[in-house]
Amino acid sequence: MSKQRIVVGLSGGVDSAVTAHSLKKQGHEVVGIFMKNWEDDDRAAGSSEDEPGYCTSNIDFVDAAAVADVIGIEIEHVNFAAEYKDRVFSDFLREYQAGRTPNPDILCNAEIKFKAFLDHSIRLGAEKIATGHYARTRLNQADGNHELLKGLDPSKDQSYFLHRLNQAQLSKTLFPIGELHKKQVRQIAEDIGLPNAKKKDSTGICFIGERPFRDFLNRYIAKAPGPIRDEKGRRLGDHLGLSFYTLGQRQGLGIGGIKDKGAQKGSGDHAPWFVARKEVETNTLWVVQGHDHPWLHSLSLVAQDASWIAGNPPPESLLAAKTRYRQSDAECSVSRASRLQFELNFSRPQWAVTPGQSAVLYAGDVCLGGGIITF
């Protein structure tokens, strides 16, 4: 690759730091940009001005700036908070209020990191952008399409979160660490003396951070209590609002157990409860006992708001899919695929398929795109 002007999204973490270093080492002109996407609540409730909050963007910027100094590149601080709230957070709230469980990281990638950030970088004269995602791209010589591939580290592959990228976005994007394993990335960071070489990986969404998820939603979504019922219709208790629960959830239901048949009296042995259905029409939360209950398993799904990396849906054939991050690829057949929706039929039942989450399709290591699960 000839020398290019490349803008790297520096998050303050080790992955983006090594991304910037590797491109600089290859001889490219590298500029770092730190994106601030949330500013409503940078500190924990009740904390002082000097205490770090749940969203650590201020700390992360200091780390990003320190990395830029060591590598020897310029860094710019850009505020995309307004765009984030309009394009990502508003959709996040709408989905939860409708009783679904969205994945804002996917929308953030499509709308902020690879749209607002990409547009800003092009205005700065960038020929390419780069991020610290564990994914790969390649040009298919046969059809001229840019393809998105899984990262080589299976435990860190992030192609699931990138499945809504299009040809224009992929053509301008580099994922330098997609060819590496995480331990290699940390070793490189340590070898060149990066100050964040041992920094803990970020978890969760910045605007939620480490706080209890229910506490965060309470600030934006009103409680709407209703009944919790089992498969026989028995009322076991009350929920705080369907928005605060997701399918497959086990913790925080506030209901006791019913002993399995054959359990000794007084033994306390019982199968755990899981959220199995959310009935918005009656504001009812349906729960079942046991991980293997039939209500928790699905052989098919329908997805809408489809997004195809090649621009068109794949041919109806046997492929693989993930219905949640870190899930192993599940063999499936695709039917009724269009630009807007598709159906999947699985060879084996899938556990806790959740409306609002994304079903992402793969042909081997190649990510084809996906859609939002409706049922």
Q: Going along 98-255, which residue ranges are E strands?
A: 128-130, 135-139, 146-150, 173-174, 226-229, 235-239
User: Do 22 and 87 sit in the same domain of this protein?
Assistant: yes
Nearest to 242 by CA among 206, 287, 212: 287
Q: Which residues of 5-40 are buried (b: 16+ CB within 10 A; e: fewer)?
A: ebbbbbbbbbbbbbbbbbbbeeebbbbbbbbbbbee
Pair of tokens at residue 4: 């290019």
Chain segment 263-296, per-residue pLDDT in tens? 445 444 578 999 999 999 999 999 999 999 999 9
At residue 52, the pLDDT reads: 46
206 noted as active-site residue = yes
> In which domain, by residue range, is 352 found?
295-373
User: Do 65 and 183 sit in the same domain of this protein?
Assistant: yes
Nearest to 43 by CA among 209, 194, 267: 209
pLDDT tops 80 at residue 205: no
The H or E element that residue 24 is part of is helix 14-25
Asked if residues 144 and 167 have their Cβ atoms less than 8 Å apart, the reply is: no
Asked if residues 231 and 218 have their Cβ atoms less than 8 Å apart, the reply is: no
Nearest to 38 by CA among 199, 214, 220, 201: 220
User: Do 279 and 331 sit in the same domain of this protein?
Assistant: no
User: Do 128 and 268 sit in the same domain of this protein?
Assistant: no
pLDDT tops 50 at residue 49: no
| Rounded CA separation 51/53 (Å) | 6
The pair phi, psi for residue 171, each rounded to 5°, is -65, -20
User: Do 240 and 329 sit in the same domain of this protein?
Assistant: no
Chain segment 105-124, per-residue pLDDT in tens? 999 999 999 999 999 999 99
User: Do 196 and 83 sit in the same domain of this protein?
Assistant: yes
**145-362-98 Cα angle (round to 5):** 105
| Rounded CA separation 166/163 (Å) | 8
What is the pLDDT averaged over residues 325-342?
93
| Rounded CA separation 94/104 (Å) | 12
108 noted as active-site residue = yes
User: Do 87 and 183 sit in the same domain of this protein?
Assistant: yes
Residue 146 lies in a domain: no
- Residue 82: strand, helix, or coil: helix
Nearest to 135 by CA among 180, 187, 78, 102: 180
User: Do 45 and 192 sit in the same domain of this protein?
Assistant: yes
User: Do 226 and 92 sit in the same domain of this protein?
Assistant: no
User: Do 325 and 246 sit in the same domain of this protein?
Assistant: no
Domains in the chain, number: 3
CA 193 to chain centroid: 30
Residue 113 lies in a domain: yes
Residue 54 lies in a domain: yes
Which residues does 67 contact at the CB level (< 8 Å), separation at least 6? Answer: 10, 12, 17, 20, 32, 194, 195, 196
3-state helix, strand, coil in the chain (%, to 5): 25, 30, 45
CATH classification at residue 354 = 2.40.30.10
Tell me which of 259, 291, 323 is where a domain ends: 291
CATH classification at residue 116 = 3.40.50.620
Q: Going along the chain, which residue ranges are E strands?
A: 5-9, 29-36, 74-79, 128-130, 135-139, 146-150, 173-174, 226-229, 235-239, 273-279, 284-289, 297-308, 318-322, 330-335, 342-351, 358-363, 366-373
CATH classification at residue 247 = 2.30.30.280
Mean of the per-residue pLDDT values for the chain?
Answer: 90
Which residue in the block uniquely carries the two structure tokens 């959220």?
A: 275
User: Do 283 and 307 sit in the same domain of this protein?
Assistant: no
Which residues does 322 contact at the CB level (< 8 Å), separation at least 6? Answer: 160, 328, 329, 330, 359, 360, 362
- Residue 368: strand, helix, or coil: strand
257: confidence class by pLDDT, cuts 50, 70, 90: low
User: Do 184 and 238 sit in the same domain of this protein?
Assistant: no
At residue 201, the pLDDT reads: 86
Chain segment 51-110, per-residue pLDDT in tens? 445 557 788 999 999 999 999 999 999 999 999 999 999 999 999 999 999 999 999 999
What is the pLDDT averaged over residues 335-362?
96
Q: Exactly one of 55, 206, 332, 367 is catalytic; name it.
A: 206
pLDDT tops 60 at residue 44: no
- CB count within 10 Å of CB 75 equals 19
